[in-house]
Amino acid sequence: MHQKLLTSIGVRRPMTLAVAAALGVICAGASAAEDSDVKLPEVSVSAASDKPAVPDNVPSTTESFTRKQIAESVNSVSSAGALLYLPSVHVRERFIGDVNGGLAMRMYGVNSSAETIVYADGLLLSNHLVNSCCPGPRWGLVSQDAIDRVDVMYGPFSALYPGNSVGGVVLMTTHMPTRFEAHAKLDTFGQNFKLYGTDENFTGTHGAASMGNKVGDWSFRLSADRLDNNSHPTDFTPARAKTGAPATTGQYTVVTGAHFDNDIANKPRVTTAATSMDHTVKDDGTIKLAYDFSPTIRATYTGNIWQNTSDKRNDSYLRDAAGNTIYGTNSTTADPYRYVRINGQDYTVTAPSASHAEATYYMHGLSVKSQTGGTWDWEATASDFNQNKDVTRASSGNFGATPSSDATAGTITFGDGTGWQNIDLRGEWRPGGDLKSQHQVSFGFHTDTYTTKSDQYRLGTGNWLTSNAGALNTSSRGVTSTQAIYVQDAWQISPSMKLVFGGREEMWEASEGSNYANGKNVAYQDKSVNAFSPKASLTYQTSDVLALRGSVGRGVRFPTVGELFKNVGITTMGGGTPSAAEIAGFPPPYNVALTNNPNLAPETADSWELSAERFLSNGLWRTSVFGEEKQGALVSQADITTLPGYSISSVQNIDKVRAYGIETAIQASDMLIRGLDLVGSIAYIHSRIVENAANPGLVGTELPLIPVWRASLLGIYHASNDLSYSLGYRFSGRQHSGLFNTTSMQYPDPNPDTYGGRSTFGVFDAKVLYKVAKQWSASVGVDNIGNIKYYTLYPYQQRTYFASAKFDY
């Protein structure tokens, strides 16, 4: 009965609530429903967007957002925008088309990309080559207009998914036609962005088109998507004050235009330029082809090509007495641009760099699946993602009045050949012979391989946009692979009680690791680890209106190739690059900044969750208490146990981290008035370091990038069948940019609501959708209505306007 009730409201799963008053109203509605013995009708759903991608025997809290809800409430045109109002979910989308859109879920922040999983039709979009926001999941490989629904599962409670699921799993289901159809959409958007010396309009356009059909046993869908956007600046250049005596005549230039504020540490800061204004053009093409061997067996092929060009420009605020733009200083020569003088103080300024990037990525996926609903079902899925072309040119900064776009030097970086492959073989055994079997046993085999290839060269003579690669600057290589087997049984103990239990055995290996930096190449030994992850979940439906569930599970997250094999950076305490002889011995006074660590062990999270779901006459309300204790947490920190004179900072295994939280989420239809739907959530998270032998002073302190509070509230009012209005609110509370500083005895960001910090923010979004005619619809919307300035280290978009027209046949 519990599963039927879940299916009956599958179109509108609970999402979020941030207002206590609303909870009180819903509670009253729940009591009324229970007192009058009202039971929810069992509704059969058949539309593609109504069918969850979550397997029936997954023992996790699940939330969903459908194609209709996306169309009515989301202005953002990226696929990441579809997650905007899901509980305790946030995507760091600084601007439309941001490839560094890290995913945050519950107890994991935006720099934890290897601790969440994103799939589209079973194809992996998450970038588990790194554990960072940069790059995030490959959102651009899926057009938002192709999404039928998004399902989100929280926690590592299912044996069907690898240890990267410790934060959660996102399952996107895209559209497959059952008859001829065609769609076209055009979006335009823009913002006026004001910060420091920037006051400029940034605009963009997005177009999507698709067509498909089903003819006999064949069905197909062809789609194309193009985004052309100009982003606001995401970086700004600071000036550094000269120490000692003022510069002598002939060694400085007096300038105006600088801007003064305090940085995240509340120290005075002088900002001289805006950088990384990204003009990005993305083209995405997808073919989805399916063949039905029988009414119960289907093969599906998905092919995708994604191309991107990115040009990042900059804008210096500095002007000399003649009105000329001044870009930077040159400390190696005694000329008028050795320093700039601002308000009587001398400064050095690094000229902002310009860059040009080109990328072509391919993704292929093939699955064959049986869906008999009988004693046996099976599925075989294989996918391949390849960065066929990934080239970035960056200019060196010029000085004086010469812009960086005219530089003759710089670097070129190749990421060609980086990618991953996955194979999954799954089986389902139902001893009772159908979906009502008392046992539903899932079992399978999984294998994956992640490969990183990165080479950076100094550019030769000539213009930085056209010159050839010169000497090798840095290089990284590495491969990780995992093989896993699993089994899981969903046992319907009684009509009101279900036990899901199982385990996953994984064998992980890291190989071919090496990096080159500062004239030295280091190769690393291969290593392998075995790990077992048990899982269990018990659901008890106490009545037609209340279900309880308790879940426990272990997730083992293995280190990424980036954490293991990223390049080593070594600098002197006073700056600069040491010689090869100095590198060999690492003698003081040199800082050794190891950004990789080939000796990392996996992190093991033992997670738990207790949930109560109240079925209402007009919706569903869920409250969950959850937590985890993580052994060997992979966190970047300084190791103070090294020899005196050394400062080593890298990703390390922290002995123990503990986190817990509470979340309540609700979704209700016809709330207060007919036609008004509300979804909302609020969550509190407490996360602390419990044991840390490498840096004991951090015990009892918070982990960075995890907001203490998250909340959202979305209202959609259906004025008629053709007209809807939506108003949404998103809130994120205090989070720290970095670990506690044991020297200053404070967190590094006492002033977080500024560039470089991680803001507390609350923003409103609105959208109006109108069906103009049978096949035409149009919408207008505004994100960040209050024009709030908020930051995720970099600034987010300010008030942004959207307009859209769509044709559906």
Instruction: Map tokens 């996306």 to a residue.
Output: 70
Residue type, 809: Y
Find the DSSP H helices in 336-400.
Answer: none
Rounded CA gap, 785 and 153, in Å?
30
Q: Are strands 619-639 and 218-230 parallel, antiparallel or unpaired?
A: unpaired
Strands (E), 594-722: 603-616, 619-639, 648-668, 676-691, 709-718
Judge whether 799 and 191 are in contact, CB under 8 Å.
yes
- What distance lies between CA 242 and its chain's CA centroid? 40
- Enumerate the H helices of 80-191 as residue ranges: none
CA distance 355 to 393: 5
Hey, what amino acid is at 363? M
* Identity of the residue numbered 401: A
CA–CA distance, 505 with 485 (Å, rounded to integer): 5
Q: Which helix (H) or strand (E) holds 72?
A: helix 67-73
CA separation for the pair 801, 768 (Å, rounded) = 12
Half-sphere exposure of 635 (CA within 13 A, CB side): 28
Measured distance CA(310)–CA(87) in Å, rounded: 32
Rounded to whole angstroms, what are the CA distances from 222 to 50, 183, 228, 369? 22, 10, 21, 21
CA 50 to CA 52: how far, in whole Å?
6
- Close Cβ partners of 616 (under 8 Å, ≥ 6 residues apart): 26, 29, 30, 33, 545, 668
Both tokens of residue 594?
Answer: 């190891």
Over the chain (809 residues), what is each successive 10-residue block's mean pLDDT?
35 33 34 35 35 68 93 94 95 92 94 93 92 88 91 95 95 94 97 97 97 97 96 94 92 96 94 95 96 97 96 94 94 86 94 92 96 95 96 88 85 94 96 92 97 92 89 94 97 95 97 89 93 97 95 96 74 34 32 64 97 94 97 79 48 94 95 94 97 93 95 97 97 94 91 94 98 96 98 96 97
- Residue 37 confidence (pLDDT): 36
As a 3-state breakdown, the chain gives helix, strand, coil percent values, each rounded to 5, of 10, 55, 35
d(CA 201, CA 59): 48
Q: Which residues pair with 428 in a beta bridge?
A: 377, 442
The answer to whether 159 touches 441, Cβ cutoff 8 Å, is no
Terminal-to-terminal C-alpha distance of the chain: 38
Cα dihedral 568, 573, 578, 580 in deg (nearest 10): -60
Q: Which residue type occupies 444?
A: G
Q: Which helix (H) or strand (E) holds 252?
A: strand 252-254
- Using alpha carbons only, how large is the chain's radius of gyration in Å? 27
Beta bridge mates, 344: none
The DSSP H or E segment spanning 575 is none
Structure confidence at residue 595 (pLDDT): 58
* Burial label, 140 (beta-carbon count in 10 A; 0-12, 13-18, 19+): buried
User: Beta strand 117-120 with 355-370: parallel, antiparallel or unpaired?
Assistant: unpaired
